[in-house]
Chains A and B, each alone.
Chain A
Amino acid sequence: QVQLVQSGAEVKKPGASVRVSCKASGYTFSTYAMHWVRQAPGQRLEWMGWINAGNGNTKYSQKFLDRVTFTRDTSASTAYMELSSLRSEDTAVYYCAKEGDILTGYVYWGQGTPVTVSS
């Protein structure tokens, strides 16, 4: 069965960077894009973008265009999200998510990685 397992909670100081990993299993990793979504405390889900796990192409939300980088390691079936120049407003749970198939929506989600930005 498809599983997305994310790295553990992080605490960072303002101005630092954070990298969150998402290890996939149960399917051919390079066949699907991996999306990243975050949720600040009490706030809505917020789409950050996606990475094509096959060719590495990326699409970033305009909001994060200058601060986020998605990468992947196909040999490890793992996707990564790095967010730089952290500020307190980046305190959130970060999720990786995957569609079941084309236009099926996010069927599979990681468990979420809490990131706290605090001085």
Chain B
Amino acid sequence: SYELTQPPSVSVSPGQTARITCSGDALPKHYGYWYQQRPGQAPLLVIYKDSERPSGIPERFSGSSSGTTVTLTITGVQAEDEADYYCQSADSSGTSVVFGGGTKLTVL
């Protein structure tokens, strides 16, 4: 079955830039989405359609796409950004939703 691949963990110091990648063969055909999930909470959409930011999401969150990889960038990381981040897209047929394995962002 189709998979989206993320690094298990990323660590950065406060104020630095965190980049989380998500790779999948069908990403050139379908948009990527990013969710932040804090422990015990439902996921929160932080990026949609590769690079769009929902209202209320801080500007330090941005997204980009290149070939088979989408990237979530958090510029000027804050302690409150420590969470799990999941990418989401569709399979090659576009009929099924797929999530990546998740990346734990640690703010040192």
Contacts and interface: CB of A to CB of B under 8 A. Distances in A.
A and B bound?
A: yes
Interface residues of B, number: 22
Nearest to A110: B42
B49 A103 contact: yes
B97 A35 contact: yes
B96 A61 contact: yes
Interface in A72-119: 95, 100, 103-107, 109-112
A74 to B, nearest CB: 23
Given A44-B101, A45-B99, A103-B31, A95 B49 contact: no
A62 to B, nearest CB: 7
A105 B42 contact: no
Given A62-B1, A103-B48, A111-B42, A47 B102 contact: no
Interface string B75-108: 0000000000010100000011111111000000
Interface string B15-52: 00000000000000001010101000011110011000
Interface of A: 35, 37, 44-47, 59, 61-62, 95, 100, 103-107, 109-112
